[in-house]
Amino acid sequence: MNYDWSVVWRNADVLWEGTKVTVFLAVTTMAMAIPGGIALALMRLSGIRTLSIGSALFVEFFRNLPLILVIYTTYYILPVATGLRFSPIATAIVALSLNVSAYNSETFRAGIASIRQGQSDAGYALGMSRFRVMIDVILPQAVRRVLPVLASTWVSLFKDTSLVSVISVGDLAFESMRVRSQTFRVLEMLTAMAVIYWMLGYPQAKLVDWINNRYRVSE
């Protein structure tokens, strides 16, 4: 079997475009899913029954479905449900955001819940309102605990963006596999794809470890 690795260099521009789409998808999704997750977590903790049940249903629903299925279903349902035409990339961002918001919501909720009762009791004893206790006492401590989990979610999201290739979004996975079927250079293109993901993901995984050590909770 002879290999021809030049196919990778000849298609470097295509792979570069795909890489940019992958990064764009991850960044945009996270930018949507952090506010989304905070909103869902606050709904859950609001004490208002309908809001908290609605949030719980949303979170349980998306956490218990394979992402690839959410992507397909969104792809077919979104245009019918809204009557609008969505580009594949917009569909991908919607599907990924729904999924990651659900995970982020649990992260924020756990972060807020992990702050001991005594902290808010002390706030109330000092005459603070429920809102001020949340803003000045609970959230600043919760952020430190949430950060490492958010970082892991980011790395998962970065990898999961590859799944949107099934609805023809031109990300790194899609472009690599497209060049593969055009050139029949299967091993070369698939290995190049794996190596590019590895080069992008490996430093991120190491960064997550560092953040985890840096923000380790010690009480």
Partner 1 sequence: MSLDFSPVFTSWHFLLGGIGDTLALSALTIALSLLLGGAIGLARCYGPSGLRWALIFYIDSMRSIPVLVVLVWTYFALPIVTGVTLPPFWAAASALTVHISAYVAEIVRAGITSVRPGQSRAAFALGMSRTQAIREIILPQALVRMLPALGSILSITIKDTAIAAVIAVPEYMNRSQTVAGQSFHPIEVFLAATVVYFAILFPVTRVVDIIYARFAYLGRS
Q: Is 65 in the site for partner 1 (CB under 8 A)?
A: yes
**What is the DSSP code (8-state) at residue 135?**
I
| Cβ partners under 8 Å of residue 17, min gap 6 | 170, 175
Q: How many residues bind partner 1 (CB under 8 A)?
A: 41
Supply the minimum distance, in Å, between the C-beta of residue 34 and partner 1: 22
CB of 149 to partner 1, least distance (A): 13
Q: Token pair for residue 175?
A: 């472009």
End-to-end CA distance of the chain: 60
Complex with partner 1: residue 45 or 205, whichever CB lies closer: 205
Of the candidates 128, 190, 211, 215, which one interacts with partner 1 according to CB under 8 A?
Answer: 190
Amino acid at 65: L
Contact with partner 1 (CB under 8 A): which of 16, 124, 198, 210? 198
Among residues 186, 152, 179, which one has the least CA distance to residue 165? 179
Q: Which is nearer to partner 1, 28 or 191 (CB)?
A: 191
Q: Which residue has the tokens 């924020």?
A: 108
Phi, psi angle pair for 118, to nearest 5°: -55, -30
> Which of 25, 4, 7 is CA-nearest to residue 15?
7
Based on the shown chain and the rule CB under 8 A, indicate whether residue 115 belongs to the binding site for partner 1.
no
Q: Which stretch binds partner 1 (CB under 8 A): 102-110, 111-119, 129-137, 156-164?
A: 156-164
Span of 35-43, 110-118, 128-136, 184-192 interacting with partner 1 by CB under 8 A: 184-192
82 is a contact residue toward partner 1 (CB under 8 A) = no
Q: Answer yes or no: are the C-beta atoms of 165 and 171 closer than 8 Å.
A: yes
Q: Does 84 bind partner 1 (CB under 8 A)?
A: no
Q: Encode burial over 96-120: b for 16+ CB neighbours within 10 A, e otherwise.
A: bbbbbbbbbbbbbbebbeebeeeeb
Q: How far is the CB of 4 from partner 1 (least distance, A)?
A: 12
Q: Where along the sequence are the contacts to partner 1 (CB under 8 A)?
A: 1, 60-61, 63-69, 72-73, 76-77, 80-81, 155, 159-163, 165-166, 173, 177, 180, 186-187, 190-191, 193-194, 197-198, 200-202, 204-206
